[in-house]
């Protein structure tokens, strides 16, 4: 558990609280879409043919090693301005299986951070999953499970999106509930598929509210690639994720990425249009103003210059791994997002 001493201007419940020269425990919570982190082995249980040496993407061991090197570099830097250990909790999406995560966390860039993995195989038709990486020095898991999301049922064939991962554990000594998501895509049209993401949001609220009662905590964190912006119904209506702490009502959650969205920021781009699909939403219990408890401090989008494409058709976009079916040598087609949670040290 890390203590940091710094000047904090903390906006909580409509007023500014200045705490100078106090010791605070700090933890970083982050989410990163890893853009198809597959290994090169042809696995009959996954839809991975294009991510093999002889597949459409010519996905060789050299490409895989380069991708691991790039992703581990980014992860090693996230949140380092306030905590040298980086993310205590890191939700990830678009990963093939646990083996690629083991390769990722064993990379030399992350050697000083003993990450552990919580992962379940989902029923997603593409064979990709979400997972949670955590550092035991900050977080001790108690239970974890997944909830499957059905996207279609036709002619006795059921298709699924990525499972939602739920984890309950102790973060900086306080019980929190974590939900890691990669909601159904907009393939087929944003409006035509909106009901699927609305359903994902409703499932989250139902399960998070239930876990809050069972485990006696008012603190939860929802993170993920939601394939919706903060203004869409899924987040704004069904998750009740509002833009301003001072306007929260009972049952609301807080989405700090509203402010980025309103200022035109995004985490992924398509056809010259930016979207802020990657978000971290927190419950009212994490913004209730008691500095002796775990509290939200600030949220950010991680987008240093080297993560931005500098030329070509995707100039200005996140510097992606693949473009036009060819390895582009980048990182991911999404920027990571992260936030800091703090608590006054005893």
Q: What is the CATH number of the domain that holds 181?
A: 3.60.10.10
Q: Each residue of 168-194: pLDDT tens digit? A: 999 999 999 999 999 999 999 999 999
The CA distance from 23 to 3, in Å, is 6
pLDDT average, residue stretch 20-39: 87
pLDDT average, residue stretch 39-48: 88
* CB distance 201 to 235 below 8 Å: yes
Say whether pLDDT at 237 is over 90.
yes
Nearest partner of 38 among 18, 19, 21, 61, judged by Cα? 61
Tell me the residue range of the domain where 66 lies. Answer: 3-344
Q: Each residue of 45-104: pLDDT tens digit? A: 888 899 999 999 999 999 999 999 999 999 999 999 999 899 999 999 999 999 999 999
> Which residues, including other chains, have CB under 8 Å from residue 178's CB and lie 6 or more apart?
89, 91, 132, 166, 167, 168, 169, 220, 221, 223
Supply the pLDDT for residue 8.
40
* CB distance 223 to 29 below 8 Å: yes
Q: If pLDDT is split at 50, 70 and 90, which confidence band does 22 have?
A: low
Q: Each residue of 250-291: pLDDT tens digit? A: 999 999 999 999 999 999 999 889 999 999 999 999 998 677
Q: Report residue 63 as tokens.
A: 């490409």
Number of structural domains found in the chain:
1
98 burial (CB, 10 Å; 0-12 / 13-18 / 19+) is middle
pLDDT average, residue stretch 218-243: 97
């Amino acid at each position: 558990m890390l203590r940091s001493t710094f000047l904090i201007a903390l906006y909580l419940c409509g007023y500014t609280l200045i705490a100078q020269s106090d010791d605070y425990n700090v933890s970083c919570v982050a989410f990163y879409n890893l853009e198809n982190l597959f290994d090169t082995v042809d696995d009959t249980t996954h839809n991975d043919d294009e991510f093999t040496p002889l597949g459409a993407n010519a996905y060789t061991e050299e490409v895989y090693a380069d991708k691991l090197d790039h992703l581990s570099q980014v992860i090693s830097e996230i949140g380092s301005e306030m905590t040298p250990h980086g993310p205590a909790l890191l939700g990830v999406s678009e990963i093939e299986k646990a083996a690629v995560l083991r390769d990722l966390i064993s990379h030399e860039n992350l050697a000083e951070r003993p990450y552990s993995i919580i992962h379940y195989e989902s029923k997603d038709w593409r064979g990709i999953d979400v997972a949670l990486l955590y550092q035991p020095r900050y977080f001790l898991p108690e239970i974890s499970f997944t909830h499957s999301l059905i996207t279609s049922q036709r002619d006795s064939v059921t298709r699924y999106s990525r499972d939602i991962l739920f984890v309950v554990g102790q973060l900086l000594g306080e019980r929190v509930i974590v939900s890691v998501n990669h909601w159904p895509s907009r393939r087929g049209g944003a409006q035509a598929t909106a009901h699927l993401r609305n359903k994902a949001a409703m499932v989250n609220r139902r399960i998070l509210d239930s876990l809050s009662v069972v485990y006696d905590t008012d603190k939860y964190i929802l993170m993920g690639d939601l394939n919706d912006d903060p203004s869409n119904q899924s987040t704004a209506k069904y998750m009740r994720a509002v833009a301003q702490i001072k306007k929260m009502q009972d049952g609301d959650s807080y989405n700090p990425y509203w402010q980025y969205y309103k200022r035109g920021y995004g985490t992924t781009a398509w056809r010259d249009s930016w979207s802020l699909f990657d978000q971290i939403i927190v419950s009212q219990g994490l913004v209730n103003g008691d500095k002796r408890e775990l509290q939200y401090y600030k949220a950010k989008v991680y987008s240093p210059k080297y993560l931005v494409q500098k030329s070509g058709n995707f100039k200005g976009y996140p510097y992606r791994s693949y473009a036009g079916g060819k390895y582009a040598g980048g990182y991911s087609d999404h920027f990571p997002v992260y936030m800091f949670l703090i608590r006054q040290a005893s």
